[in-house]
Amino acid sequence: MSADMKRKVCIVTGTSSGIGYATAIGLAKLNATVVAVMRDSPKSAAALNEIKSKSGMDDSIIWMKADLSSQESIRAFVNEYNQRFNRLDVLINNAGVNNFKKTVTPEGIETTFAVNVLAPFLLSNLLLDKLRSSSPSRIVNVSSEAANGVKIDFENLQGEKKYSMFGQYGQTKLALNLITVELSRRLSGTGVTANFLHPGVIRSNLARGMNPLANLLLSFVKLFFGSPEKGARTSIHLATSPDVEAVSGKYFSGQREARANPLSYDESLASRMWKICEDLTKEKLPPAVAAPTG
């Protein structure tokens, strides 16, 4: 069951296509104000127009520009958001990449790790004051079953020893699970929840840099994948349903609570991953955040 989101403000990253695009439409149809975070590109402009048209909510969809591989761009986005909005009810960290070849950001960080792990970490931390002052509020991180059956190799977090498309993607999604569970611990008692989810095996434009033959094969396989609309259902459920308002630190699949890779709940791994994210972003959240007073 979804609630009417009138007067609620939701940030959704990665809305130019796929699950993020469908999530933005779904939230807008529930009367939310949706801040669609996308790069500055013609594709993003076209997506914005389509989201407005398909939701029928022209005035409640706001495009704000950010490159989530860049910490500088993320910080600029947050500064602009804080100037324009006085509340934040839902942050959906949906954007993700799965690069065929290793690339690095201008800040020297491997791109898949930067977008899939550091961007959600940094956005959640930088927007936390806004989330707390708007509580009850929610952080929703889009993970993947690709995290199942993998381990964290702290000596190869950024492909320092070797890089593989699927290995790096799975490892970054497990890292996202770890920081989500750790974040939920640190937010206990604040009225801000943090959960993570598997959207299903969905048609998307996630893979980048594959050769033409591999792209052709993937295009054929995608015919059997679920629609982005189906993939958005669990994100929208966690963002809006009264049934999960007080639920935090949990993993969902098919709109139901599920069990993630057991390593996702390992406190020592989570603490270590959290510290790495702090060091790479130079952002620190206290071990336990006191509930707001007044």
Q: Is 265 a catalytic residue?
A: no
Collapse the DSSP code of 74 into the 3-class scheme (helix H, G, I; strand E, B; otherwise coil) and give the result. helix
Q: What is the DSSP letter of 117?
A: I
d(Cα 266, Cα 115) in Å, to the nearest integer? 23
Collapse the DSSP code of 63 into the 3-class scheme (helix H, G, I; strand E, B; otherwise coil) and give the result. strand
Taken in order 105, 91, 127, 189, the sign of the CA dihedral is negative
Kindly name the residue from 163, 169, 251, 265 that is annotated as catalytic. Answer: 169
Cβ neighbours of residue 59 closer than 8 Å, sequence gap 6 or more? none
CB 231 within 8 A of CB 201: no
d(Cα 65, Cα 76) in Å, to the nearest integer? 9
User: Which residues are registered as beta bridge partners of 63?
Assistant: 36
For the annotated catalytic residues, the residue numbers are: 169
